[in-house]
Amino acid sequence: MNVVLFGFMGVGKTTVGRLLAPRLGYRFVDSDAETEQALGMRISDAFARLGEPAFRDVERGVVRRLSGGDGQVISLGGGTALDRGNVEALRGSGRMVLLTASPEEIGLRTRGDASRPLLAGADKLTNIRALLEERRERYIAAADMVVDTNGVPPIRVADAILNRLEVAAG
């Protein structure tokens, strides 16, 4: 089985994934890092030089490959689970865990970060609110489990996921 962490930028997918993986005895994989490796460039450069659709194509290839693996905690990029094919592939091999946070908290956590092209722009909070609103339904539809991270330290988020995975496994 895999455990797939997904949700908006800045909700802590990578941080929580790194903490969760050893506790399950799973390997940690970050889809953004894998996609950067496959692209041979950073995400911000890929958006600027190749455009978002080309980035999404490569990301889909990474998702297909990771979906074929087992015993992994997979952190997705914020937009990865908006693609229905990606969700189908990942669902077939794992549990989909949606991490959430308020727009204000996401704004704080991504402060001073230039690596996320979709958050670039003058009014970042407005940008976050609009994107979240646009994505919310698709995020919820893809989730087997929703864990709120507002004001919760990453290690406690990992605890909550572990507990709920164990309860679900009986």
Q: Which residues lie near ligand S3P (CB under 6 A)?
A: 9, 13, 32, 43, 77-79, 116-118
Tokens at 97, concatenated: 């865990």
Min CB(167)–ligand S3P separation in Å: 27
Min CB(115)–ligand S3P separation in Å: 7
Min CB(62)–ligand S3P separation in Å: 10
Question: Considering beta carbons, is residue 93 or 127 the nearer one to ligand S3P?
Answer: 127
Question: Considering beta carbons, is residue 78 or 107 the nearer one to ligand S3P?
Answer: 78
Question: Considering beta carbons, is residue 13 or 95 the nearer one to ligand S3P?
Answer: 13
d(CA 117, CA 43): 8
Beta bridge partners of 87: none
d(CA 140, CA 37): 29
Query: What residues contact 110, with CB distance under 8 A and at least 6 apart?
Result: 9, 10, 116, 119, 124
Question: Considering beta carbons, is residue 62 or 161 the nearer one to ligand S3P?
Answer: 62
Question: Considering beta carbons, is residue 117 or 154 the nearer one to ligand S3P?
Answer: 117
Query: What residues contact 116, with CB distance under 8 A and at least 6 apart?
Result: 9, 43, 44, 78, 110
Query: How would you classify the pairing of strands 2-6 and 72-75?
Result: parallel
Min CB(32)–ligand S3P separation in Å: 5
Min CB(117)–ligand S3P separation in Å: 6
Start-to-end Cα distance in the chain: 15
Amino acid, single-letter form, for residue 132: L
